[in-house]
Structure 1
Amino acid sequence: MASTTIQRSAARTEVEGAARTERPRGAIAFGLTRIAIGWLFLWAFLDKAFALGFATGRAEDGSIDFFAKGQAWLNGGSPTEGVLRYATKGPLAGFFQSLAGAAWVDWVYMLSMLLIGGALVLGVATRLAAVGGAIWMALFYLATSIWPEYNPVVDEHIVYILVLVGLAQIGAGRYLGLQERWERSALVRRFPVLR
């Protein structure tokens, strides 16, 4: 009789534990956070590729010049030159300024923004995308924020890094994303690093 009680108790604990791992409290918040941060990366790609009038494509009179010559990446502009040439500061400024205008840097940046942003928005390859996003945020911090202007240590790049690492750890693509379907695909079974 006692063993039956123990077995039922263990079975109940397993079922309750499974329910918790499937959808923890805050799952929707994790999913929305992943999508929002993914949209930041994806928008960086879209705005710099097409000069949509936010970070690029704004004329001196304030009007928007979509696909602006020399500003849109697809129309001869460099998506990284402005920030690398004029916004870098700190002990590594010289290094980052030496990269300004390099075509390979533009390609690496744009492909990274597209792939990281797209993966986070869709909830696929979330761990890899979140780690890649955290690396980019660390690079942005080193290039433009070391040391931060309004706080001696922490700025938004550090917060993004922490959030991205957390999203990678919890597998945030499972919440409002396609992660579970993605993990069953032949591509991911062949290359598990894409999980």
Structure 2
Amino acid sequence: MAVHEHSQGSTGFRAPSFRDNRSASDSEPAVPARTDTHTAWAYVAASLRLLTGFVFLWAFLDKAFGLGYATPSGKGWVDGGSPTKGFLSGVAAGPMQSTFHSWAGQTWADWMFMAGLLGVGLALIGGVALRIAALGGTAMMALMWIAEWPPAKQLSDGTPTMSTNPFVDYHVIYAVVLIALAAVSAGDAFGLGRLWARLPVVRDNRWLR
């Protein structure tokens, strides 16, 4: 009885608990590990943003100056060519076929299309106004999806469309990427997103973020 009471009240030596020590040591790097993962994802999103931005910006440069890729040399916008005439006049499927034909080569259509390519490209590369870029870019991709009309199996002249998927094509992928980049604030890494967010007009109007 006396020994039992003495052992309960004793403040003498106790063997160390290795289980507790392991738990403490294991929990210490948890925060840095989460931080490293967050940083890695931020860099991945930033890389995707820059690559996607270059796709839009290059399309603008090629159509504007006729760099010899999709737009032949000497037929760029600055040479008097139309960046929309060839594509829209060639629409041969879908419910807006006649509408796109009437838009082909129109000055307002050329300016809106080129402004969209340039605006989305610069916004993505700079990491600013990603929500506006996502909205404008998604609208552009939606119209181009309708123009190509992947659900069609045949063109208006009866030739096969060679569509590989009736719903999801690269226009849908680009639209999803634009929305995702805006949702995760992908402009904060390798971009001017943080500086842009500090501007008073952006702080007061979060849709500009």
Alignment partner, residue 42 of structure 1: 57
Alignment partner, residue 119 of structure 2: 115
CA contact (8 A) 2:91 2:100 kept: no
Cα-to-partner distance string for 1:83-116 (whole Å, 9 max, x where unaligned): 0001452121111111001000001111111111
Using the alignment, how far apart are the partners of 1:173 and 1:88 within structure 2?
A: 38
CA contact (8 A) 1:131 1:168 kept: no
Alignment partner, residue 147 of structure 1: 151
What letter corresponds to residue 58 of structure 2 in structure 1?
W
Using the alignment, how far apart are the partners of 2:92 and 2:83 within structure 1?
A: 15
Identity %: 43
**SS of aligned partner of 1:32:** helix
CA contact (8 A) 1:88 1:96 kept: no
Residue 146 of structure 1 and its aligned partner are, at CA, apart by 3.4
Q: CA RMSD in A?
A: 2.4
User: Which residue of 170, 179, 185 corresponds with 2:184?
Assistant: 170
**SS of aligned partner of 1:174:** coil
Q: Does 1:181 align with 2:181?
A: no
What letter corresponds to residue 168 of structure 2 in structure 1?
V
Residue 36 of structure 1 and its aligned partner are, at CA, apart by 1.1
Residue 185 of structure 1 and its aligned partner are, at CA, apart by 2.6
What letter corresponds to residue 199 of structure 2 in structure 1?
S
More moved, 117-126 vs 179-188: 179-188
CA spacing shift, 1:88–1:190, aligned 2, 3 Å = farther
Structure 1 runs not aligned, ≥5 long: 1-11, 58-64
User: Which residue of 76, 79, 85 corresponds with 1:72?
Assistant: 76
Greater gyration radius:
2
Structure 2 runs not aligned, ≥5 long: 1-26, 153-162
User: Which residue of 52, 70, 81 corresponds with 2:85?
Assistant: 81
CA contact (8 A) 2:150 2:169 kept: no
Q: Does 1:32 align with 2:47?
A: yes
CA contact (8 A) 1:122 1:173 kept: yes
Alignment TM-score, normalising by the size of structure 1: 0.78
User: Which residue of 158, 161, 166 corresponds with 2:172?
Assistant: 158
Cα-to-partner distance string for 1:17-76 (whole Å, 9 max, x where unaligned): xx75x945421111111111111111111111100111112xxxxxxx3xx1xx210110
CA contact (8 A) 1:40 1:117 kept: yes
Alignment partner, residue 91 of structure 1: 95
Give the count of matched residue pairs. Answer: 170
Cα-to-partner distance string for 1:138-183 (whole Å, 9 max, x where unaligned): 1110111332601122111111112211112111111221100111
